[in-house]
Amino acid sequence: MDTYSDPEKLRELASAQTLAIWAVLAGILGNVIWSLMIVTVPFMLYAVYRLARGLDKSAGSAAFFMIAMLIPIVGIICLLVLNSSATTRLRDGMLTVGLFGVPKAELAKLGAKTE
């Protein structure tokens, strides 16, 4: 099934994008207060992994982004690039994307989550 019409894939991508937005903010804070980097770097790596998985990136591409995350400022730029791709894909799936990702009301339109 196409990624743009699969509600579960769109829900996963929306969740990963929200996580990545918080990771960008954490990364900015970590670059200002260096002692926080011990917490923000693992969080940013996890966010990149989730976002790359949600965007169906290859393992090599995901690894590249994760390695780039270890370089201050470059990691934030990588997160912003991935976030831009996620926004485009979510909008192609007819979802509204706000400042902090897809609103919960918009996600409810996708239907109940199946587990």
Mean pLDDT of 19-23: 88
Q: In the predicted model, is pLDDT for residue 96 greater than 50?
A: yes
Query: Are 13 and 86 spatial neighbours (Cβ–Cβ below 8 Å)?
Result: yes
Amino acid at 64: F
Q: Which residues of 9-32 are buried (b: 16+ CB within 10 A; e: fewer)?
A: bbbebbbbbbbbbebbebbeebee
Q: In the predicted model, is pLDDT for residue 72 greater than 80?
A: no
Q: In the predicted model, is pLDDT for residue 52 greater than 70?
A: yes
Band of pLDDT at residue 88, cut at 50, 70 and 90: very high
Query: Are 24 and 80 spatial neighbours (Cβ–Cβ below 8 Å)?
Result: yes
Q: In the predicted model, is pLDDT for residue 38 greater than 60?
A: yes
Band of pLDDT at residue 4, cut at 50, 70 and 90: low
